Chain A
């Protein structure tokens, strides 16, 4: 049991390191911008780099990571392209273009599927099981909206992807919080020193 926990912590640590490295790489693209960035700009840059970094730690084997990259490349923003290239390298930007096409095609299919389903009439059964099913369906729809790329997945894939997505989000949050705390400590320390 203990050995397993150690294993998990080491693999988690590896993941965190990988994420941090990619994130820092992406942030370094902003060092050379001469223009002044507002706080919102900085926040968006930080968040963008973090999202790209965490998606790339999955090596695009999961649907949600591909969806994240497709969304990112949709914004025709020069800086995002630079960040992507910095983090991933030239070769993998082609992967992103492919994933964009895949997303587009599957979105069209999903539209068609939904249209067909709507034409089938709805039954108004008030059984308890039907109500429960309705609730579950509502929640599934919400979850599909939350998980990136969830709209085009069936239920089984959705749950798989949610699992992976939650774990990756946790990694992201942990690393960001650690850095933020370290930065705050450092800043507070230096203010104390300056006050004395």
Chain B
């Protein structure tokens, strides 16, 4: 009866507040959830299933690594085990085995003797070999974040010593997270094998870091002033709506250039794209072609209100004159 930590796969998890649900969500939502909440700062409360609390009690007592200190652990185990599919418990062939054991502790109060507990644990371990259920990976993940002990069931025909069990739990944690990563990085879904997936991930991270460098160089080249183009951007942009909430963040005195017509909203209505691999090629082309063109635009940049910058502007203007000459030569 008591071994309630059963496999979960096939259970559609709609409540998105649990970490286990996170793993089953399709990628963009999963990452969005990660971004939205401070990942992984808060341990998320698991959903309490409408299951038999008595079963949960018994299940908690039969956990493999339960300490002799009973009561705090059993209450802590409650949330973890509540997320298990307890209707599978009834199919357990171990029921009959553990019934004679379970009847006494289930009925009696929770403070059982440690000797009896160890005996029960040994029986649990032996019967694990006969178990046909897959180890409760999700449970171990969830409980691994909240509880000191990991509750894992050994698979059929596999070693049950604590070392290999712990290692398997660890491996499963890693695999679950790798799956999330795979979904985040574009093009990784079809690749099988950890080494290849890691290759793709490394490439993606390197590409993103390089893009940041290019873009900051590009922005540095565009304008003589470092608090660069926002005023010009907003003045020149002929957007229809003004994002008041956004513009309200900035002190309007920063932009002495009159009306701010720009709409930030237009730029930000794209959803968070994870197709970074498609965009970089486009972005990089822009970089190479724009290295020359932004500089000749400096000529047309209106004199900044801050007169202290005039020296810098004049120097840039001279540079840009040369650049424009070269550029027109290209055309």
Genuine A/B complex: yes
Q: What is the interface of chain B mostly: helix, strand, loop, or mixed? A: helix
Bin chain B's interface residue count: 35 or more
Cβ of A4 < 8 Å from any Cβ of B?
yes
Q: Which residues of B contact A180 (CB under 8 A)?
A: 215, 218-219, 222, 286
Report how far A163 CA is from B33 CA in the complex, Å.
12
| 8 Å CB interface, A60-92 against B | 61-62
Report how far A17 CA is from B265 CA in the complex, Å.
10
Cβ of A166 < 8 Å from any Cβ of B?
yes
Segment of B90-98, B106-114, B224-232 in the binding face = B224-232
- Choose among A165, A177, A193 the residue that contacts B215 (Cβ–Cβ < 8 A): A177
A132–chain B nearest beta-carbon distance, Å: 6
Taken residue by residue from 174 to 201, chain B's Cβ proximity to chain A (1 for < 8 Å, 0 otherwise) reads as: 1001101100110000000111001101
Q: How many residue-residue contacts, CB under 8 A, span A and B?
A: 227
Q: With A12-B32, A142-B202 as given contacts, are A47 and B271 in contact (CB-CB < 8 Å)?
A: no
Cβ of A106 < 8 Å from any Cβ of B?
no
Cβ of A95 < 8 Å from any Cβ of B?
no
The reply to whether A47 and B209 contact each other, CB–CB distance below 8 Å, is: no
Segment of B3-11, B37-45, B130-138 in the binding face = B37-45
Q: Which residues of A contact B170 (CB under 8 A)?
A: 156
Report how far A43 CA is from B221 CA in the complex, Å.
8
Taken residue by residue from 269 to 289, chain B's Cβ proximity to chain A (1 for < 8 Å, 0 otherwise) reads as: 111111010010001001000
The reply to whether A170 and B306 contact each other, CB–CB distance below 8 Å, is: no
The reply to whether A5 and B271 contact each other, CB–CB distance below 8 Å, is: yes
The reply to whether A9 and B34 contact each other, CB–CB distance below 8 Å, is: no
A135–chain B nearest beta-carbon distance, Å: 4
| 8 Å CB interface, A158-196 against B | 159-160, 162-167, 169-174, 176-191, 193-194
Q: With A146-B202, A173-B215, A183-B233 as given contacts, are A163 and B34 in contact (CB-CB < 8 Å)?
A: yes
Task: Pick from A31, A167, A180 the residue with the most CB of B within 10 Å.
Answer: A180
- Choose among B35, B215, B300 the residue that contacts A190 (Cβ–Cβ < 8 A): B300
The reply to whether B35 and A11 contact each other, CB–CB distance below 8 Å, is: yes
Q: With A24-B250, A28-B227 as given contacts, are A46 and B220 in contact (CB-CB < 8 Å)?
A: yes
Report how far A129 CA is from B249 CA in the complex, Å.
56
Q: Kindly report which residue of chain A lies nearest to residue B205, judged by CB atoms.
A: A146
What are 8 inter-chain pairs, A to B, with CB distance below 8 A?
A39-B217, A164-B34, A166-B201, A167-B34, A179-B229, A182-B262, A184-B290, A191-B299
Q: Supply 12 further A-B pairs (C-beta < 8 A) apart from A166-B208, A187-B222, A191-B300.
A: A11-B35, A30-B226, A62-B39, A132-B193, A142-B202, A163-B180, A166-B205, A169-B208, A183-B294, A184-B294, A187-B232, A187-B294
Residues of B within 8 A of A (CB): 28-29, 31-32, 34-36, 38-41, 170, 173-174, 177-178, 180-181, 184-185, 193-195, 198-199, 201-202, 204-206, 208-209, 211-213, 215-223, 225-230, 232-233, 236-237, 246, 249-250, 254, 262, 264, 267-274, 276, 279, 283, 286, 290, 293-294, 296-297, 299-301, 306, 308, 311-312, 315
The 8 A-B pairs at the shortest CB distance, nearest first, are namely: A12-B272, A187-B297, A8-B32, A9-B271, A42-B220, A139-B198, A43-B220, A183-B229
